[in-house]
Amino acid sequence: MSMIVLKFGGTSVGSAENIKKVAKIVIAEKESNIVVLSAMSGVTNTLQNISNLLSQKKIDEAQLEMLNLNQKYNKVIQDLFDSNDHFVKASLMINYHNEVLLPLLEIEFSEKVEKVILAQGELVSTNLFQLYMEELEESSNLISALDFMTIDDNHEPDTERIKESIAKVISKHPRSKTLITQGFICKNTSGEIDNLKRGGSDYTASIIGAAVEASQIQLWSDISGMHNNDPRFVDQTFSIEEISFDEAAELAYFGAKILHPQSIIPAKEKNIPVLLKNTFKPEAKGTLIHNGANPQGSDVNIRAIAAKDNITAIKIKSYRMLMAYGFLKKIFEIFEQNQTSIDMITTSEVAVSLTIDDTSKLTEIIQELEGFGSIEVDSDLSIICIAGNIAQNKKGVTAAIFNCLTDIPIRMISYGGSNYNLSFLVKASDKIAVLNLLNKGLFTSEATVLVN
């Protein structure tokens, strides 16, 4: 039986009014479905704060935060339910989840305690939604992610086990059109409550989609999919109708808010289309991410342009590099030891330039690099990323891109790392001009290459 997975993020379930919108969308869905919910917006942050306060033994402050959270929930259920019966049930449920936290005030703080605390957000939001569906007399059942979502010792989803367990859980509800479950939370190999790290609900949806071989995974948030350019700086942007997984992954670094690339791996592997939709504009088409978006031999498609600020470039110049081997390894090791990830790299015969966005260890890194040659550091740069089907064997793409930029100084260019990306580095003060020039040159009637 084909199923679809619908995941709603924190804002989508962030108030009684929004929960009602989510219910409408779920009810309108004709196929049987699994609904994955995040915690209400802000709740996981509050729970993290409670946990931090407990770890610092600030018990009174932690209790106060718990009280505030309880009040927030109480307000929501007053607005959500019409029947007294369901209001009372919801109120008891919220008290129960608050009471789960109480004994934790007494015991020694540990990571295990933190994970139990963090799990309460999704447990509450899903229970609330189930009660609301019940009040509407809509067919739905709650299934606990803790009964099937398991991770292995490497903290990775245990796919085989999840597939078996979820099948068992689903088979208990043969007549249910909608099954509701929690994003983010799971159990580890010791059977303890754990999670898929912050923002992990998309990952949950994708893992579940792969496990049940869903026909589609829908990720509902407060934006209408991906845009071809940054609407904050460029007029006349449009939302991308379709994009391949590879292109979407290239863009993820630039708009982490949209999607973490890891979260769609299970869907990509099983070839399940992922549709990004907006809970507050359900009529908008959204963006479909699927493998078929780039058929082999298809034309050049420039899909999207994105930028990332606060980039620092480091140049290491050394004649010792000339015809030597192992030089890059030694340089990269310095970044590894300082737990700093490198984004772009370009090399010449006697120099290497690379970029980082986390400068917390910059002083240490520079000190260590000085042993290899002369170092130059430029800050306040922006990476511009062009994503699309721009394989090296396609003519005219690079020319079309750089023809737009004849007046812009470019610090670094990276092309050929993948078939789907060309990135370059400019001064942050040129970023808005660059985004607009590219938009005009690549996405309007003046464009000289085929775009989508």
Contact residues for ligand ASP, defined by CB under 6 A: 9-10, 38-39, 44, 121, 183-184, 198-201
The CA-atom distances, in angstroms, between 189 and each of 66, 153, 161, 181, 273 are 29, 6, 11, 20, 30
Angle, in degrees to the nearest 10, between helices 84-101 and 111-135:
180
Residue closer to ligand ASP (CB basis): 23 or 259 = 259
Query: Which DSSP category does 252 fall into?
Result: H
Phi, psi of 350 (to 5 degrees): -125, 10
Residue closer to ligand ASP (CB basis): 121 or 157 = 121
Contact segment (CB under 5 A) with Mg ion among 33-41, 234-242, 284-292, 384-392 equals: 33-41
Residue closer to Mg ion (CB basis): 38 or 439 = 38
d(CA 212, CA 272): 11
Smallest gap from residue 221 Cβ to ligand ASP (A): 10
- Under the criterion CB under 5 A, does residue 38 sit at the interface with Mg ion? yes
Contact segment (CB under 5 A) with Mg ion among 5-13, 177-185, 222-230, 415-423 equals: 5-13
Task: Select the binding partner of residue 121 from ligand ASP, Mg ion, none (C-beta < 5 to 8 A, by kind).
Answer: ligand ASP
Smallest gap from residue 52 Cβ to ligand ASP (A): 15
- Under the criterion CB under 5 A, does residue 10 sit at the interface with Mg ion? yes
Count of alpha carbons within 13 angstroms of residue 428, beta-carbon side? 11
Smallest gap from residue 154 Cβ to ligand ASP (A): 20
Residue closer to Mg ion (CB basis): 202 or 368 = 202
CB 339 within 8 A of CB 359: no
Residue closer to Mg ion (CB basis): 214 or 258 = 258
Smallest gap from residue 186 Cβ to ligand ASP (A): 11
Residue closer to ligand ASP (CB basis): 94 or 356 = 94
Phi, psi of 288 (to 5 degrees): -100, 120
d(CA 24, CA 16): 13
Residue closer to Mg ion (CB basis): 221 or 436 = 221
CB 423 within 8 A of CB 390: no
Smallest gap from residue 45 Cβ to Mg ion (A): 10
Nearest residue to Mg ion, scored by beta-carbon proximity: 10
Task: Select the binding partner of residue 183 from ligand ASP, Mg ion, none (C-beta < 5 to 8 A, by kind).
Answer: ligand ASP
Residue closer to Mg ion (CB basis): 204 or 414 = 204
Smallest gap from residue 41 Cβ to Mg ion (A): 7
Beta strand spans in 93-236 (E): 140-142, 178-182, 185-187, 193-195, 216-221
Smallest gap from residue 286 Cβ to Mg ion (A): 18
Smallest gap from residue 16 Cβ to ligand ASP (A): 18
Query: Could you please report the per-residue DSSP string of 381-413?
Result: EEEEEEEEE--TTSTTHHHHHHHTTTTS--SEE
- Under the criterion CB under 5 A, does residue 286 sit at the interface with Mg ion? no
148's CB contacts (< 8 A; 6+ apart) are: 162, 165, 166, 168, 169
Nearest to 31 by CA among 288, 217, 266: 217
Query: Which residues are at the interface with Mg ion (CB under 5 A)?
Result: 9-10, 38
